[in-house]
Amino acid sequence: QAVLTQPPSVSEAPGQRVIISCTGSSSNIGAGYDVQWYQQLPGTAPKLLIYGSNNRPSGVPDRFSGSTSGTSGSLAITGLQAEDEADYYCQSFDRSLNYVFGSGTRVTVL
Amino acid sequence: QVQLVESGGGVVQPGRSLRLSCAVSGFTFSTYGMFWVRQTPGKGLEWVAVISSDGRNTYYADSVKGRFGISRDNSKNTLYLQMNSLKPEDTALYYCARGPRNMIVAVSHWFDPWGQGTLVTVSS
C-alpha cells in the first residue's frame, strides 16, 4: 500500500472548504522533504496542483493551497466548485531515495 | 507546448518482456531528469524509476529493481523503460513525467507534466 496516508474520500457542498490530509513519517515529510499535490480528473493523467509544499504552478487557481507541519501535509480547497470533483494525490521524497505517493482522496461536490 | 507521448504498451504473458517509449517535445529534453510512474486501480500511483539528465544515474523502486531498466536517447528526445520478467502485478497504466532540471542524482522534486499513459497488461 501507499507510503503516505490520505482519507479515501471527502465531500462538501459548493462554495465550502475542504482539507485533505497527507500523513507520512520521519523518513519523508518529517525529514523536511516537500509535499506535492496532484489533481486527477476522470480519464486523464495527474496534473501538478501544488509543488514545494505551498507553491502553485501558473494557471492553478488560488482556491488551492498547501501546507506542511511535522510529518503531515495538507491541501485546502476553498470556494469548492463542481469542476473540483476529482482524485487528489500527495507526493514526497524519502530518505531511501524513493519518490512516494499518497493513497489518494476522492473529492465529491454535493 | 510541452508534450510527452507514451507508446509500447500491450498484453504480454508473465515472464516476458516489453519496452515502453516516451517521445517528448516542447522543451530541451537533455537538460531534465525523467520519471516513469504507474497507476493501478488497487494501488494508486507508484513511482517506478528515474533517470538523470545525462542518463548516467538511474534509480528504481524496490518492486521493479533488477527487472526494469530506464534509459534515454537525448538525440531522439525519447525516454525508455525496458521491462523484463514481467509479473501480473506489473499490470498498470504507465506514465512518463518530466523531473528536475539538470538532475544528476535523485533529489526531492515533482512530476510535471505527465504523458497520457500507456496500458500494460500482464496475463496468461
Return the SS3 of A33: coil
- Distance between CA A21 and CA A108 in Å, rounded? 16
Would you write out chain B's pLDDT as a tens digit for each of its 124 residues?
Answer: 999 999 999 999 999 999 999 999 999 999 999 999 999 977 799 999 999 999 999 999 999 999 999 999 999 999 999 999 999 999 999 999 999 888 888 888 999 999 999 999 999 9
Instruction: Say which DSSP state B98 is in.
Output: E
Q: Across all residues in chain B, what is the average pLDDT?
A: 95
Does the beta carbon of B101 lie under 8 angstroms from any beta carbon of chain A?
no
Contact B47 A98 (CB under 8 A): yes
Averages of pLDDT over each 10 residues, chain A, 110 residues: 94 97 97 96 95 95 96 97 97 95 96
Measure the CA dihedral B119/B103/B58/B81, to 10°: 20
Pairing of strands A36-40, A86-93: antiparallel
Contact B44 A47 (CB under 8 A): no
- Closest-CA residue of B relative to A32 is B108
Asked if B22 and B51 touch (Cβ cutoff 8 Å), the reply is no
- Closest-CA residue of A relative to B42 is A1
Cell numbers placing B90: 506489473
Asked if A39 and A47 touch (Cβ cutoff 8 Å), the reply is yes
- Distance between CA A72 and CA A80 in Å, rounded? 23
First to last CA, chain B: 40
